[in-house]
Amino acid sequence: MTFISYAQNFEDVRLWRAFRELEDGFYIDIGANDPNHDSVTKAFYDHGWQGVNVEPIQNYYDALCQQRPRDTTLQCIASDAPGEVTFYSIPDSGLSTADPRVAQERKDAGFEVQRLTVNARTLTSICEEHAVDRAIHFLKIDVEGHEETVLRGMDFSRFRPWIIVIETPWQRDHTWEPLVTDAGYQPILFDGLNTWFLADEHMNLKPAFDIPPCNLDNFQLCRGHAFAHPIDVAEPDTAQQLANALQRAEQAESQLRTLQNSRTVRAVQKLHKMLRRA
């Protein structure tokens, strides 16, 4: 089965290197967002894995429930305490946040920001309900500035994700990092968008992260991926380019058929057959 990458920065390719031999894996996705677009877990679900998606936004929650029936999808946010909290939704984006400072920055930048009241749970309580008797192979956290609050709600002495992936653009203040490293995790990679941590007891997986994703990983980008070449047949210039390419392909196919029927090619094919019999 071909590995199709959906993640925005090849996160799923790096994880697949570490786990390609694992048939029944389990993940927890905090800030799951869309079940397909930029999803770190979509490729793993397609390969038979299952997990827990935490997503407060109604349309993304509904889509996850519909498209991921093996998964457990929770309509809430992860925080340091249970209850109801204010959440700042930015429609049709992955930029929604529970951090009022980040919300204000995005409002000042021109984004539409909607205030919602959502349920909050600790990551520990989510693990107690859904992962108490199984390994957590990776934990992904993408919460737009709310990282420290999420991590303060997790008991890493009881629940030990093998790999933790936290979206952490370089300009953010990573004062929360000791919450992970003091719990027995090593920072092994910053890929420009995420910081990656390995549990001390799973450092044998580190070689999977020593080089960037490359053609040796044998993966394809999903249709519409931001790194794939965009082709919009509705654009006149692109449509003409596509028509020209198809015409050249047809001409090449015709030339190939002519070549295959030539005397020279038939003679070479006959010689090859004779040599194989010798």
pLDDT tens profile 132-149 = 999 999 999 999 888 999
Mean pLDDT confidence for 89-93: 81
**Per-residue H/E/C for the chain:** CCEEECECCCHHHHHHHHHCCCCCCEEEEECCCCCCCECCCHHHHHCCCEEEEECCCHHHHHHHHHHCCCCEEECCEEECCCEEEEEEECCCCCCCECCHHHHHHHHHCCCCCEEEEEEEEEHHHHHHHHCCCCCCCEEEECCCCCHHHHHHCCCCCCCCCCEEEEECCCCCCCCCHHHHHCCCEEEEEECCCEEEEEEHHHHHHHHHHCCCCCHHHCEEECCCCCCCCCCCCCCHHHHHHHHHHHHHHHHHHHHHHHHHCCHHHHHHHHHHHHHHHC
Task: Give me the percent of the chain exceeding a pLDDT of 90.
Answer: 59
Which residues are paired to 114 by β-bridges?
Answer: 89
Q: What is the pLDDT of residue 262?
A: 47
Q: What is the pLDDT of residue 172?
A: 61
Q: Please state the CATH superfamily assignment of the domain spanning residues 3-221 in this structure.
A: Vaccinia Virus protein VP39 (3.40.50.150)
Higher pLDDT, 277 or 210: 210
Pick the range with the lowest mean pLDDT from 118-122, 128-132, 168-172, 268-272: 268-272
pLDDT tens profile 49-85 = 999 999 999 999 999 999 999 999 999 999 999 999 9
Domain ranges of the chain: 3-221, 236-277
